[in-house]
Amino acid sequence: MIGVITNPPEEAAIREFFELFKTPWEQYRSGLDYEVVICVGNAKLEGISARLLIIYAAEKTSFDEERQVQIQSRHNGLTCSFAEGHLPIFGRAVTFRHPGISFMANEDSHESIGFVDQYGAQIFARIGYDLPSEVNTLLTEGQPSVNGSTPTLDLHIANLRDLIVGCGIPLVEIPPLPDRFPFTVCLTHDVDHPSIRRHRLDHTIFGFLLRATAGSLINLARGRISLSKVMLNWSAAVRLPFVYIGLAKDFWNNFERYLEIDGDHPSTFYFIPFSDRAGDTPDGPAPRLRAARYDISHVSEKIPLLLSERCEVGLHGIDAWADTARGREEARRITEVSGVEELGVRTHWLFRKSDSMRLLDAAGFLYDSSVGYSDAVGFRAGTNQVFKPLDANRMLEVPLHIMDTALFYSARMDLSPAKAWVTLTPIFEGAARHGGVVTIDWHDRSIAPERLWEDFYVCLLKSLEQKGPWFATVTQVVGWFQRRRSAKFECAARQDGAMRVRVIVPRGSGLPPMRLRVYKPARDTQRTTFDTNPNYSFSDYCLDSDAETCLPLHREGLASCQ
């Protein structure tokens, strides 16, 4: 059991951190014995009984004075290196001059930002940044896109896990991994332009014609597309008048094609509730040209088809991010047409402001999936995990990691297919290493002329299928993470040199079971040295009902009992 000492303003961030790092913990209670005590900030540490004491603080503390820990330098943001990789720190940080074993260092100066030492029978670790502040930054503001390839929050969890097990203390965890699957994938489609026929000589049509004709030739010269795709785009431009008069197929209506491509993998479609409503931007009213030319009623005949194929319908919100009343109005419109009562939302253009999560939560949405980059790909919130925004009561956030327009638009990343593959590699590596979900957004018209990004999407799905993830709708993933969040640890009394940990699991929900992971340090747990590259093993157990596991405290051996 981990005991955590923190101040009230930091409790929300710490609680969410330990929902993501799902391991036994509680607010520190005086007089109890803990294997690990974590102190955040400058608190009094008298009378603490723990094998391992960890102090996170970006300032000099009374602990530093007592243990003669010297602050070497102060920083406002830095990158540190440790066994798991490179970890950006966005707030204040300090480095140390101390003879202990360093396990984290400033990447530029190589000064220690985290070290382990021993004081009597107790091991202590001093880490020179403010963990709640870092968690708060990632879950509210997010990290800049320059850090987007780094799963920063997941690395904070890995760093703490490595520290505990590296000090010889066994650990139990419910990782963000469905049993038998390496990670999860959500396929999503924002429905912005389901019919080119609804656009009559507006900016969308002029843009289409320009990109389909001259733009195709430019991309051919750049080596971005083949001659056959140039001909497809030119053919679409020529057919456009016949589309208008009904003699040619509307090539932007691609619901059936997406069902064919996605195959057995159910996907989530986000629909706009009102046509010709531009809405607001964070800087004021949006220009009229931003308004969609359709609403969900114009494609209502497609909804039963999608639902029959186990797909999901959600809201592509216009102003839900800015106003609770408008969010409820938009949700009602989607429900009226689709019949779906409980909805998730992804805001159009990924708009948000500081209190958007609170407003969306108050509007009654099950989840939001808007925390991502519009001009980049990667981990805006620093994680693959579904999390609860710090100012939400019920709603969960499913981060968005990959968006087609961010990859290929000339005004955004403007990548070739080959460079796009390289750019996506860290996202899949992060999921394979830390678990969680990869959320992909491929817009409705992106497989049609003039974008023609179908080939890349098909290859992306084939590559993912080879990795064996669980493909699920966003609502299914939210249900799985809600069940994980509801699981509770109960620690019975110590006996015979072991701690018996019981896990209380909600009843089955038809979703894949969780797994219980038990970490065993590589060496005798009585040692007081620290392994800077912990070589520990773990055992996984299917967790679909209440379970118990036994953790050794001062002896070899590890047992698990269901």
Question: CA–CA separation, 116 vs 167, rounded Å?
Answer: 9
Q: Is the preceding peptide bond at 65 cis, omega within 30 degrees of 0?
A: no
Structure tokens at 432: 């394979």
User: Buried (b) or exposed (e) across 123-149, using 16+ Cβ within 10 A?
Assistant: bbbbbbbbbbbbbbbbbeebbebebbb
Coarse DSSP helix, strand, coil percentages of the chain, rounded to the nearest 5 percent? 35, 25, 40
pLDDT digits (tens, 9 = 90+) for 379-401: 999 999 999 999 999 999 999 99
What is the pLDDT at residue 291?
95
Q: Which residues contact 287 (CB under 8 A, 6 or more apart)?
A: 278
CA distances, 289 to each of 199, 203, 285, 512 (Å)? 11, 7, 12, 44
pLDDT digits (tens, 9 = 90+) for 62-94: 999 988 999 999 999 999 999 888 999 999 999
Question: CA–CA separation, 466 vs 509, rounded Å?
Answer: 27
Nearest 5 degrees, angle CA 204-CA 233-CA 294? 30
Structure tokens at 560: 């698990």
Please, are residues 543 and 503 in contact by the beta-carbon 8 Å criterion? Answer: yes
Question: Strand, helix or coil at 329?
Answer: helix
**Nearest C-alpha neighbor of 315 from the set 346, 286, 336:** 346
Could you list the beta-strand ranges (E) of 261-349. Answer: 268-271, 280-281, 284-285, 312-317, 344-347
What is the pLDDT at residue 56?
97
CA atoms within 13 A on the CB side of 515: 18
Q: Where are the alpha helices (DSSP H) in 112-262?
A: 131-140, 152-166, 203-210, 216-221, 227-244, 255-262
Structure tokens at 157: 């969890």
As a whole number of Å, the CA-based R_g of the chain is 26
Q: Are strands 547-552 and 498-504 parallel, antiparallel or unpaired?
A: antiparallel
Q: Which pTM does this prediction carry?
A: 0.94
Could you list the beta-strand ranges (E) of 120-239. Answer: 122-127, 171-173, 184-191
Please, are residues 80 and 104 in contact by the beta-carbon 8 Å criterion? Answer: yes
End-to-end CA distance of the chain: 20
Q: What is the DSSP letter of 211?
A: I
Q: Which CATH superfamily is domain 184-192+252-481 in?
A: Glycoside hydrolase/deacetylase (3.20.20.370)
Residue 384 φ/ψ, nearest 5 degrees:
-90, -5
Structure tokens at 3: 């005991």
**What's the CATH fold of domain 2-173?**
Rossmann fold (3.40.50)
Structure tokens at 99: 């003879």
Question: Strand, helix or coil at 560?
Answer: strand
pLDDT along the chain (562 residues), means of 10: 92 97 94 91 80 95 91 96 93 94 95 92 93 98 97 97 92 95 98 95 93 95 95 97 95 97 97 96 92 97 98 98 98 98 97 97 98 98 98 97 97 96 96 97 97 98 97 98 95 69 86 93 56 75 85 47 32
Structure tokens at 439: 């959320």
What is the pLDDT at residue 453?
98
What is the pLDDT at residue 362?
98
Domain ranges of the chain: 2-173, 184-192+252-481, 196-250
